Amino acid sequence: MRSFVRTCRWIILGGISGLLAGIASFVFLEGLDRATSVQTDTSWMLYLLPVAGLAIGLSNHHLAGRSSAGNALLLEEIHSPTQWVPRRMAPLVLLGTWWTHLFGGSAGREGTALQMSGSLSDAAGRLLRLNHSDRSLMLTAALAGGFGSVFGVPFAGVIFAVEVPTVGRLRYQALVPAVIASFVGDAVVTRLGHHHSARLAVDLSLSASTIGALIVVGLACGIAARLFVSVTSAIRSLGRRYVPSAVVRPVIGGAAVVGLAALFGRDYLGLSLPLLDSALAGTSIALSVFALKLLFTAITIGTGFLGGEVTPLFVIGATLGASAGELLGLPIGAAAAIGMVATFGAAANTPIACTVMGLELFGAAAVTPIAIGCITAWIASGTGTIYETQRHALRRSSAGLQDT
């Protein structure tokens, strides 16, 4: 009886978390669409990106407090819940990400969705006077609600939430609230009227040569993920070392992005969804495209602009997959789909969630080739991660996986 009551309680709490996540993701996605449209139609706004960086720097310095830690704070509170997540995190990251995209910064949306969901769910937990253990589970559910609702992948949202806090150990105790939060969040976004882009199904016949080509694509994506984590971290470290002022760093980063856009064009600004769509449609993509998107995003995120890394990683992986797949004789669209989820899975250490995401986006026939790509990329990527406070229950070595 006690177990039944506890399950019912977590169904309700997961529903609350999912409802908050869904409403927040809907508001965010609708505003993001409008910000992207304005930025695309008003080319001169890009030149104000350094000014936008100054505004974000001032906001982070004077208003953000602990919330400036972003996803790192959420994962740390899941591992060791001690202090409430600041309620200001949700509005600050929402406005800051809109601001970044309005002026052309190369960033994503996952980080914003997770932080809004986590902040709002913890605020609800504060009202309900949840204890530390319950807060940890509620924040895990918030990750599921934020991820599932912002991308329209509720199954992947569940797996992501229980997989991402600790590499090699799934948080099964959070499964019930995570399932409810992810599916409720996704349903709320859809019910409110935001529809995610449909993707073409991937059906790739497997042979020995095809499997070999998939492994090569996975290796390339793992190396790209490792490079993204390393370059972003290096830019962040160099900025802190040589530009002590957190207010000035995004100004310099904004100026660098403007300069890069003048040299290489504007395709790499914002989410860069046209590049993603072209790769998935089977268009031939130059090998330089993934590298340029990686550089634009590493500078944007590494110097302090707000937003996530996931959608840029989708673009990096899809364009790299398309380029590598064409060289290896794979269908370009299929290779792009595999690269899209494998690169993010490697950078976030979430190969299971990204395999499930591939199933949801590209159909059941894509599961095996996507699993090959995701696992290979994850192994090749090393121990780096886009989430600074992610923990490791396993370590990887040349001999394979070992317990720590």
- Residue 254, token pair as written in the block: 């904004």
**One domain, residues 171 and 225:** no
197 occurs within a structural domain: no
245 occurs within a structural domain: yes
For residues 145 and 185, give the distance between their C-alpha atoms in angstroms, rounded to a whole number.
Answer: 5
On whether the CB atoms of residues 369 and 336 are closer than 8 A, the answer is no
**One domain, residues 280 and 181:** no
Residue 88 sits in a domain whose CATH number is 1.10.3080.10
404 occurs within a structural domain: no
Residue where a domain terminates, one of 166, 192, 218: 192
**One domain, residues 266 and 332:** yes
**One domain, residues 228 and 361:** yes
Q: What residues make up the domain containing 333?
A: 208-390+395-399
202 occurs within a structural domain: no
**One domain, residues 220 and 132:** no
Q: What is the pLDDT of residues 164-201, one digit of tens each?
A: 999 989 999 999 999 999 999 999 999 999 988 888 88
For residues 237 and 60, give the distance between their C-alpha atoms in angstroms, rounded to a whole number.
Answer: 17
Taking 50 as the pLDDT cut, the residues of the chain under it are 397-404
Residue where a domain terminates, one of 163, 192, 221: 192
For residues 250 and 58, give the distance between their C-alpha atoms in angstroms, rounded to a whole number.
Answer: 10
pLDDT at residue 203, rounded to an integer = 87
**Helix/strand/coil (H, E, C) string of 237-306?**
HHHHHHCCCCCCHHHHHHHHHHHHHHHHCCCCCCCCHHHHHHHHCCCCCCCHHHHHHHHHHHHHHHCCCC
For residues 55 and 103, give the distance between their C-alpha atoms in angstroms, rounded to a whole number.
Answer: 12
**Helix/strand/coil (H, E, C) string of the chain?**
CHHHHHHHHHHHHHHHHHHHHHHHHHHHHHHHHHHHHHHHHCHHHHHHHHHHHHHHHHHHHHHHHHHHHCHHHHHHHHHCCCCCCCCCHHHHHHHHHHHHHHCCCCCCCHHHHHHHHHHHHHHHHHHHCCCHHHHHHHHHHHHHHHHHHHHCCHHHHHHHHHHCCEECCCCHHHHHHHHHHHHHHHHHHHHHCCCCCCCCCCCCCCCHHHHHHHHHHHHHHHHHHHHHHHHHHHHHHHHHHHCCCCCCHHHHHHHHHHHHHHHHCCCCCCCCHHHHHHHHCCCCCCCHHHHHHHHHHHHHHHCCCCCCCHHHHHHHHHHHHHHHHHHHCCCHHHHHHHHHHHHHHHHHCCHHHHHHHHHHHHCHHHHHHHHHHHHHHHHHCCCCCCCCCCEECEEEECCEEEEC
201 occurs within a structural domain: no
200 occurs within a structural domain: no
- Residue 77, token pair as written in the block: 């509170």
**One domain, residues 366 and 278:** yes
**One domain, residues 212 and 277:** yes
Instruction: Name beta bridge partners: 269.
Output: none
pLDDT at residue 399, rounded to an integer = 37
Based on the structure, what is the number of domains in the chain? 2
**One domain, residues 136 and 264:** no
**One domain, residues 174 and 225:** no
**One domain, residues 241 and 186:** no
331 occurs within a structural domain: yes
pLDDT at residue 308, rounded to an integer = 86
- Residue 378, token pair as written in the block: 């994850």
**One domain, residues 51 and 182:** yes
Query: Quick one: which of 357, 375, 370 has its CA closest to 210?
Result: 370
**One domain, residues 136 and 17:** yes
Query: Quick one: which of 364, 356, 366 has its CA closest to 321?
Result: 366
Residue where a domain terminates, one of 141, 160, 192: 192
**Burial bucket for residue 88 (CB in 10 Å: 0-12, 13-18, 19+):** middle
On whether the CB atoms of residues 170 and 162 are closer than 8 A, the answer is yes
177 occurs within a structural domain: yes
Q: Which residue has the tokens 């980080």?
A: 111
